[in-house]
Amino acid sequence: MSALSRGLIQVYTGTGKGKTTAALGLAMRAAGHGLRVCFVQLLKRGWDSGERKAAQRLSPEIEIHAFGAPQWGDQSKADKDTPWWELPPSEEDRKQAREGALFALRAVTSGDYDIVVLDEVFGALKLGLISLEEVMELIQRKPPKVELVLTGREAPDEVLGQADLVTEMNAVKHPYHRGIEARRGIEY
């Protein structure tokens, strides 16, 4: 039974850093008030992330469930100079995304959570790992007292039209462009 009197739909999108971080901040705030949060991450299983370690400390209020292959992409399409983000999805990537989308739908409709976050849903959508129809079904089946948070670059207009709150993070400057790799505790 939800503790929220009304659940809305939030979207964090754009090319800038901070979409997942914003959703995690919301999850922490909610946990501080005793709300239950199910945080479903697509495309992220293989990472040793600080947010998963922290969420274990905030259990049972926050649960993080990650769906993604241990290593991204179809490795048979790679050579030594191919960056991981340029690889096409593997069959395991597709399978994990489908499982994650189904898990999120069950979480939204279960009555067990006040807030459900579907992190990197728009990335999975853009890669063709899940369909727009699946995302719209999740929105349509959301009970009135469940908050739904969707993150990722390039949120489609159909989703933006259904959202109650849309925040766009814009990239202005990023250390990656200067060759600074992702740092443990800061970017993951």
Measured between alpha carbons, how far is residue 126 from residues 102, 131, 159 in Å? 18, 9, 13
- Residue 5, by phi and psi: left (phi above 0), alpha (psi -120 to 50) or beta? alpha
Q: Which two tokens stand for residue 161?
A: 């039209």
131 lies in a domain? yes
Q: Which two tokens stand for residue 30?
A: 């909610």
Q: Average of pLDDT values for 172-188?
A: 81
3-state DSSP helix/strand/coil % of the chain, to nearest 5: 40, 15, 45
Pair 121, 130: CB distance under 8 Å: yes
| pLDDT computed for residue 64 by the predictor | 95
pLDDT bin (cut points 50, 70, 90) of residue 171 is confident
What share of the chain in percent tops pLDDT 70? 98
179 lies in a domain? no
Residue 119: alpha-carbon gap to chain centroid: 0
Distance, in Å, from the CA atom of 68 to the CA atom of 71, rounded to the nearest integer, reads 8
188 lies in a domain? no
For residue 136, give its domain range. Answer: 9-76+84-152
101 lies in a domain? yes
How many angstroms separate the most distant Cα atoms in the chain? 53
pLDDT bin (cut points 50, 70, 90) of residue 115 is very high
pLDDT over 90 (residue 120): yes
Identify the H or E element spanning 119. strand 115-119
Rg of the Cα trace of the chain?
16
Residue 4 burial by Cβ neighbours in a 10 Å radius (0-12, 13-18, 19+): middle
Total number of domains constituting the chain: 1
29 or 181: which leads in pLDDT: 29
181 lies in a domain? no
Note the pLDDT tens digit of each residue in 52-83. 888 888 889 999 999 998 888 888 887 878 88
158 lies in a domain? no
94 lies in a domain? yes
Q: What is the CATH number of the domain that holds 104?
A: 3.40.50.300
| pLDDT computed for residue 177 by the predictor | 78
Q: Which of 82-96, 106-120, 148-162 has the lowest mean pLDDT?
A: 82-96
